[in-house]
Chains A and B, each alone.
Chain A
């Protein structure tokens, strides 16, 4: 069986989880084994209808006091239990902050190989073959498994969503017996309503060229009009213009949106490490020799303080 850890929070299924279930479904026909989605924690039950749309053969729902709050070791133990009971040979996770935190503990428990943040997945001789960017995207590794159980985390926005309605069997799994060592005691969600960087299809990013924090609203407006998220270079973050959670790059987030718009960003290798796998890159920079232009699908040479307001006007006309 292919088991997909389908992260949900308070009944809302993550987009990355839908991508993971879609990929699980595709793998299930390649491997000729069924695919199951695992929903865990408070609200799991409410996410069942949504997860069904992506074609799982089975859905496991695990709720209980010990899983009400997120706990890496508790969630890992629960996942490993289901994987063992069901004889799972493949376990997929979305590469969300939860997936990244839980999957290594599951791998340690079930003694599986784990390849993280993959951008491609195939099957050869009945086993998985994963493509994983390494050296911050400067090389691509083809990774094979030696273990019986094979695990991967899938990079967001890479594996296409595919609706595939099914009428799966829904099974409740008892969470009794799980006693977490570490547990979330509170959660603070700051930017209610704003699109999250890791899941955004469009990212508008600002760098040192923005000159100061007072100019970030310029790109925030463009992001809002496009339904996208706001990113930043390290130079902008280090200057204190925007929080680190927005940083894209080697020591920030690795993103692969459909469109990445770099405004006043030179394109240092450590920045490209975080956005080089974007499908399309638009760069706005006044220096025609800026390295970002070497990877831009559309390069605009000019002053961002003139171009961005013009772009905002143009986008408003569409609204």
Chain B
């Protein structure tokens, strides 16, 4: 079976956000970039499926040169080869323009099963996996927390409000990984050494058969007009009192300030 996993490189979740001079992006100097945590879950699921069924896993990312580090991490975890969509024309893409480019990768590689993370942390869109599924004409399982491959179809559970639902989709299909699906492994030293020799293919807009105005900022349907730090939250009263007094204070707060009682 042919597996394809999409990963996005994102700022470490601990990053202290500073707004750049243009007023719409963040300062990247000194920021540590990681594979988006949900994408690690997507990689792990592909690895588990390959271990059970055999086949090959391609990992792909769209992004600047530093994105190569994310691909090396995925290769060190056990993916077989990598594709890097690196071209100035891809820059500034929103979800729609990103999905356009990634859907072209799906078309080119013709995989049976495609994995995405639930969201690229940072922009927190939760869109690209579902959009690519639509553009590729595939069914998908969103927010997947349990997966079974059964011949030419997959069956998976997804979290919904107050419970779970089981979805069945025929292959080829997209799976969007949610936390709970598995516990991603850490790359072992041997994996890290091997990753250095695994191939990374670079693809440009032209290689994907797309034109520059379909991708990147030009192909985007939305744009950031500005980025601001949220107003700082003021800390309110802090009390160290007897439990009974504290309880009364909480109830009074719920009644008078929050108007929740």
* Genuine A/B complex: yes
**Chain A residues within 8 Å of B, Cβ to Cβ:** 14, 70, 72-73, 76, 96-98, 100-105, 107-109, 111-117, 129, 133-147, 180-192, 194, 196, 198-199, 201-202, 226, 244-245, 247, 250-252, 258-259, 261, 269-270, 273, 276, 279-282, 284, 288, 293-303, 306-307, 309-311, 313-315, 318
A294 B235 Cβ-Cβ under 8 A: yes
A105 B169 Cβ-Cβ under 8 A: no
A sample of 13 inter-chain contacts (CB < 8 A) reads: A73-B134, A97-B161, A112-B221, A114-B127, A142-B228, A143-B222, A182-B167, A188-B164, A190-B162, A273-B13, A301-B238, A301-B239, A314-B251
Chain B, interface residues (CB within 8 Å), range: 35 or more
Residues of chain B from 140 to 179 with CB closer than 8 A to chain A in the complex: 140-143, 145, 155, 158-170, 173, 179
Main secondary structure of the interface of A (DSSP, over half): mixed
A147 B221 Cβ-Cβ under 8 A: yes
**Cβ-defined partner of B237 (8 Å) among A76, A117, A199, A299:** A299
Given contacts A136-B121, A138-B229, is CB(A187)–CB(B221) below 8 Å?
no
B179 A252 Cβ-Cβ under 8 A: yes
B6 to chain A, nearest CB (A): 14
Given contacts A183-B167, A296-B238, is CB(A114)–CB(B17) below 8 Å?
no
Given contacts A190-B162, A226-B260, is CB(A145)–CB(B237) below 8 Å?
no
In the complex, what residue of chain B is closest to A189 when comparing beta carbons?
Answer: B163
Complex-state Cα separation, A269 to B251, whole angstroms? 27
5 pairs of A and B residues whose beta carbons are closest in the complex: A113-B221, A181-B139, A182-B139, A182-B169, A104-B130
**Cβ-defined partner of A297 (8 Å) among B124, B133, B257:** B257
A184 B165 Cβ-Cβ under 8 A: yes
B250 A282 Cβ-Cβ under 8 A: yes
Residues of chain A with a CB closer than 8 A to B53's CB:
none
Residues of chain B with a CB closer than 8 A to A142's CB:
224-228
Residues of chain A with a CB closer than 8 A to B244's CB:
310, 314
A135 B96 Cβ-Cβ under 8 A: no
A117 B240 Cβ-Cβ under 8 A: no
Residues of chain B with a CB closer than 8 A to A281's CB:
233
**Extra contacts besides A276-B233, A314-B250 (7): CB < 8 Å:** A105-B130, A140-B228, A185-B166, A187-B160, A250-B13, A259-B260, A311-B247
A108 B96 Cβ-Cβ under 8 A: yes
**Cβ-defined partner of A139 (8 Å) among B138, B179, B229, B250:** B229
B122 A134 Cβ-Cβ under 8 A: yes
Complex-state Cα separation, A116 to B158, whole angstroms? 19
* B19 sits at the interface (CB 8 A): yes
B28 to chain A, nearest CB (A): 12
Complex-state Cα separation, A194 to B14, whole angstroms? 33
B222 A114 Cβ-Cβ under 8 A: yes
In the complex, what residue of chain B is closest to A304 when comparing beta carbons?
Answer: B243
B186 to chain A, nearest CB (A): 16
Complex-state Cα separation, A39 to B26, whole angstroms? 40
B179 A108 Cβ-Cβ under 8 A: no
A191 B237 Cβ-Cβ under 8 A: no
* B51 sits at the interface (CB 8 A): no
* B216 sits at the interface (CB 8 A): no
Residues of chain A with a CB closer than 8 A to B170's CB:
181-182
Complex-state Cα separation, A282 to B254, whole angstroms? 9
**Cβ-defined partner of A76 (8 Å) among B121, B134, B159, B167:** B134
Residues of chain B from 4 to 30 with CB closer than 8 A to chain A in the complex: 11, 13-17, 19, 24, 26
Residues of chain B with a CB closer than 8 A to A313's CB:
247
B164 A250 Cβ-Cβ under 8 A: no
In the complex, what residue of chain B is closest to A244 when comparing beta carbons?
Answer: B180
Complex-state Cα separation, A251 to B37, whole angstroms? 8
B227 A139 Cβ-Cβ under 8 A: yes
Most-contacted residue by chain A among B166, B222, B227, B253 (CB, 10 A)? B222
